[in-house]
Amino acid sequence: MARPTIGHLDSAFLRMMDEIRSMLRVVFRTENELTLPISGTGSAGMEACLTNLIEPGDEVLVLENGLFGARMADIVQRCRGELRTLRAPWGEGFGQEQVETALQGKKTKIVALVHAETSTGYRQDVPAIARVAHDHGALLVLDAVTSLGGIPVELDEWGVDAAYSGTQKCLGCPPGLAPISFGPRAETVLASRRTKPASWYLDLSMVRRYWNEERVYHHTAPINALYGLHEALRIVAVEGLEARWKRHEEAGDRFARGIEEMGLEMLVAPAHRLPQLNSVRIPEGKRDETIRKAMLDGHGIEIGGGLGELKGKIWRVGLMGSAAQPEVVDRVLTALGMTLR
């Protein structure tokens, strides 16, 4: 990222853009032509997907079981969509039958859900919900911010119509870009809009023309951030996606075992637990901020606190990218045990 900044229409940079798009298709496991990084963080990817697919009056069902499902719902309303929500307790998720019931007799255009809920550490099963959404004529929009590069994400196999992610999680890159991918059904909706998207900056009908062979100027791309993404994706390719998924899974299992051996409790049941985002219930009598400050000051380890309704109730420990290693897990567990004592 410290390499000299070149022009956003420089021929060398344009070649790198094509390589980024190609590597993003690999990590998303898709052939979608409309796959590119949005200039902005993961929330910009969320807004890009929803803003480009929703028109005023469109009915959208959001599956909300954490902070980022709630953020989706907020954006739907800002797009003047007709919002319906299906809610589950934070740390739990949704079954196929629940979604089927919620869609019965409705004219739903989009079903939106979070694959890996960052606020709780819950892993949502996607394929069955995608099938139900399509059976009812709806598109499936997937939040893959915390999952991409860490656990399997299979856009084409699962039938995901639009997805977005962020660079700073399991891709192991600094924040600032949001990879997105639109499938054929989503592209058809984009092409047949009756109104322009509410956001000029995130209008994919224009952004894509810079990223495809037309190279039409839209905005000045964040050159050095894209250098970083290119290198991060190259590292993923060298390691191999399956090997990377396995490494994250093993790190998460090692951490959960260590937590339980310490007599502590994980928030999410094992079958739906994220290996890269581990939510630990704060034991009785321990103060959230006191422990986290002591971990940072005494051991140089930063762990996250709870968000929303889980604030003060859980710690969130990220094991993402290069941090998903046995020695990192052991260091965190040792430091946490010492700090609690």
pLDDT in tens, 121-158: 999 999 999 999 999 999 999 999 999 999 999 999 99
Beta strand extents in the chain (DSSP E only): 34-39, 59-64, 82-87, 110-114, 116-117, 122-123, 139-143, 162-164, 177-182, 277-281, 304-305, 314-318
- Using an 8 Å Cβ cutoff, are 305 and 293 in contact? no
Q: How many residues does the chain have?
A: 341
Whole-Å CA distances, 38 to 23, 127, 155, 200, 280:
15, 25, 18, 13, 33
pLDDT of 171 reads 98
- Using an 8 Å Cβ cutoff, are 275 and 150 in contact? yes
CATH class of 241-340: alpha beta
Q: Which residue has the tokens 């990223």?
A: 211
- Using an 8 Å Cβ cutoff, are 40 and 222 in contact? no
Predicted TM-score of the model (pTM): 0.96
pLDDT of 71 reads 97
Query: In the chain, which stretches have pLDDT less than 50?
Result: none
pLDDT of 100 reads 97
Beta strand 162-164 pairing with 177-182: antiparallel
pLDDT of 56 reads 97
From CA 227, how far away is CA 232, in angstroms rounded? 9
From CA 101, how far away is CA 261, in angstroms rounded? 41
Could you tell me how far CA 320 lies from the centroid of its own chain? 12
From CA 250, how far away is CA 328, in angstroms rounded? 12
Other C-beta atoms lying within 10 Å of the C-beta of residue 272 = 16
Q: Which amino acid is at 68?
A: F
CATH class of 11-238: alpha beta
What are the residue boundaries of the structural domains of the chain, listed by start? Answer: 11-238, 241-340
Question: Please, what's the largest Cα pairwise distance for the chain?
Answer: 62
pLDDT of 336 reads 97
